[in-house]
C-alpha cells in the first residue's frame, strides 16, 4: 500500500482517520501547543491527538481555528480521563472537553485507560455520545486482549480504535492481530519511544541505509503495517521530519528484521497495561 500524508484508515460510518497525526502529551499549554498544531496543519497533518489530562485542549482548538483550515478537515481525538470515568461523569467530561476545544463534536473519543469497575459504564456513555453524533467515532486506549474480550462480551458496539504504545521496541503483535480480527483500528502512541531509543545502533544503521533518520524509520515501520501513528513534537523541524516518511518504503527483509527488535520495552513502567495488575 502506497501511503501519503493524506492517507486515511476507515472507521465505522464512513469516518476517515488520517494515518499520521500530531501527539500533544507534554506539549506545554499555551503558545507552544498552539504553534505546534499550526505548524503541523501547515505541513499537511490533518489529525491532532489530545486528552483532558494533557491540559492543552483549549490550545489545540485555538491552533486549529488560527490555522484557517476548516474544522471538518481536521480529525481531533480527545480522551476521558480516569477520574471522570463512569456513565454521568464521562458524559460531563466530554461536554467540558468540547467546550475547551471550542467545537461541538470530536472525531474520536477514547477511554484513556481501562479503569477497573468503571470502564463498562464509561463505554455505555461513549456509545450514547456516538449515537448522538457528539463523537463521530468512539474507542479505547491501553486496552489489552483481556480488556477487549471483557468489553466485547458485554457490548455489541465494537471500539473503532485501540490506542496503545507501539514502537519497534514494543510491538504487541498478539494484540495487533486480535484487534485486526475484530475490525479494531490500531493506533500507536509513543511510536518514537519518547525519543529514548532513537540512538539504538540497529535503528541508526537502518536509517543510514535508507538515507532517513531513526525517527523516520520507526514511524515508517508503524504506518507501513497500516497502524496509525501520532508522534509528538513541539519543534517545527521535527514536525516536518516526522511527516517526511511517505517518499520511501522499508523493504520486506528489513520489516522482518525490525520485528526481531521487539523487547516489550515500554516507556510506561508501572502503568504498562499488559503486565500491570492496576487494570484488572
Ligand atoms: N493513550 C495514552 O495513554 C497515551 C500515552 C502516551 C502518549 N499518547 C499520545 O501519543 C503521542 C505520542 O507519544 P509520546 O508523546 O509519548 O512519545 P513520542 O511521540 O514517541 O516521542 C515524543 C518525544 O520525542 C521527541 N521527538 C519528536 N520527534 C523527534 C525526532 N524526529 N527526533 C528526535 N526526537 C523527536 C519529542 O521532543 P520535542 O517535542 O521536544 O521535539 C518528545 O520528547 C502523545 O503525544 C499523545 O498524544 C497517548
- Residue 196 counted as domain residue: yes
- Residue 271 counted as domain residue: yes
Q: What is the pLDDT of residue 2?
A: 85
Q: What is the pLDDT of residue 214?
A: 98
Q: Which domain holds residue 220?
A: 16-279
Using the atom order of ligand 1, give the atom closest to the CA of residue 167: 20
pLDDT in tens, 182-210: 999 999 999 999 999 999 999 999 999 99
- Residue 5 counted as domain residue: no
pLDDT in tens, 130-182: 999 999 999 999 999 999 999 999 999 999 999 999 999 999 999 999 999 99
Q: Which DSSP category does 164 fall into?
A: E
Which residue has a Cα nearest atom 16 of ligand 1?
190
Task: Name which of 167, 169, 155 is nearest 111 in CA terms.
Answer: 155
- Residue 69 counted as domain residue: yes
Bin 179: left if φ > 0, else alpha if -120 < ψ < 50, else beta. alpha
- Residue 158 counted as domain residue: yes
d(CA 128, ligand 1 centre) in Å: 31
54 is catalytic: yes
Q: What is the dihedral of CA 237, 71, 20, 179, to 10 degrees?
A: 150
Quote the number of domains for the chain: 1
**Residue ranges in the chain modelled with pLDDT below 50:** none
Which residue has a Cα nearest atom 34 of ligand 1?
195
Q: How far apart are CA 90 and CA 5, in angstroms?
A: 33
d(CA 272, ligand 1 centre) in Å: 17
For a substitution probing ligand 1, which of 33, 119, 231, 270 has the most ligand atoms within 8 Å of its CB? 231
Q: Is 47 helix (H, G, I), strand (E, B) or coil?
A: strand
Which residue has a Cα nearest atom 5 of ligand 1?
189
- Residue 11 counted as domain residue: no
Using the atom order of ligand 1, give the atom closest to the CA of residue 50: 47
Spot the catalytic one: 3, 45, 54, 178.
54
Provide the grid cell at 145: 486482549
- Residue 7 counted as domain residue: no
Using the atom order of ligand 1, give the atom closest to the CA of residue 36: 39
Task: Name which of 157, 143, 146, 218 is nearest 186 in CA terms.
Answer: 143
Q: Is 80 helix (H, G, I), strand (E, B) or coil?
A: strand
SS3 content of the chain, % helix, strand, coil (to 5): 45, 15, 35
pTM of this prediction? 0.98
Please give the C-alpha separations between residue 9 and each of 28, 57, 149, in angstroms, as whole numbers.
Answer: 29, 24, 23
Q: What are phi and psi of 89, to 5 degrees?
A: -70, -35
Pairing relationship of beta strands 15-18 and 161-165 according to DSSP bridges:
unpaired
Q: How far apart are CA 113 and CA 106, in angstroms?
A: 18
214-223 vs 252-259: helix axis angle to the nearest 10? 100
Instruction: Say if residues 169 and 203 touch (Cβ distance below 8 Å).
Output: no
Provide the grid cell at 59: 490550545
For a substitution probing ligand 1, which of 167, 228, 232, 271 has the most ligand atoms within 8 Å of its CB? 232
Q: What is the pLDDT of residue 248?
A: 97
Task: Name which of 168, 148, 138, 143 is nearest 229 in CA terms.
Answer: 168
- Residue 243 counted as domain residue: yes
Read off the CATH number of the domain in which 167 is found: 3.20.20.100
Amino acid at each position: 500500500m502506497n501511503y501519503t500524508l493524506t492517507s486515511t484508515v476507515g472507521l465505522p460510518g464512513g469516518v476517515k482517520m488520517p494515518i499520521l497525526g500530531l501527539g500533544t502529551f507534554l506539549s506545554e499549554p499555551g503558545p507552544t501547543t498552539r504553534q505546534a498544531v499550526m505548524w503541523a496543519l501547515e505541513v499537511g497533518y490533518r489529525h491532532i491527538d489530545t486528552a483532558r489530562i494533557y491540559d492543552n485542549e483549549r490550545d489545540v482548538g485555538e491552533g486549529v481555528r488560527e490555522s484557517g483550515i476548516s474544522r471538518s478537515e481536521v480529525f481531533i481525538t480527545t480522551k476521558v480521563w480516569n477520574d471522570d470515568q463512569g456513565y454521568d461523569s464521562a458524559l460531563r467530561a466530554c461536554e467540558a472537553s468540547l467546550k475547551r476545544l471550542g467545537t461541538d463534536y470530536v472525531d474520536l473519543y477514547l477511554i484513556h485507560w481501562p479503569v477497573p469497575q468503571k470502564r463498562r459504564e464509561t463505554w455505555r456513555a461513549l456509545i450514547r455520545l456516538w449515537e448522538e453524533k457528539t463523537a463521530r467515532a468512539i474507542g479505547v486506549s491501553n486496552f489489552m486482549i483481556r480488556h477487549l474480550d471483557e468489553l466485547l462480551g458485554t457490548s455489541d458496539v465494537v471500539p473503532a480504535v485501540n490506542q496503545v504504545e507501539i514502537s519497534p521496541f514494543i510491538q504487541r503483535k498478539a494484540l495487533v492481530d486480535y484487534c485486526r480480527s475484530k475490525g479494531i483500528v490500531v493506533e500507536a502512541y509513543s511510536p518514537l519511544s519518547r525519543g529514548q531509543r532513537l540512538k539504538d545502533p540497529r535503528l541508526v544503521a537502518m536509517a543510514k541505509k535508507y538515507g532517513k533518520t531513526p525517527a523516520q524509520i520507526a514511524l515508517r515501520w508503524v504506518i507501513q503495517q497500516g497502524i496509525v501513528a501520532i508522534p509528538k513534537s513541539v519543534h517545527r523541524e521535527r514536525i516536518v521530519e516526522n511527516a517526511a516518511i511517505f517518499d520511501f518504503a522499508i523493504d520486506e527483509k528489513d520489516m522482518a528484521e525490525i520485528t526481531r527488535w521487539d523487547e516489550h520495552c515500554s516507556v510506561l513502567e508501572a502503568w504498562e497495561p499488559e503486565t500491570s495488575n492496576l487494570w484488572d
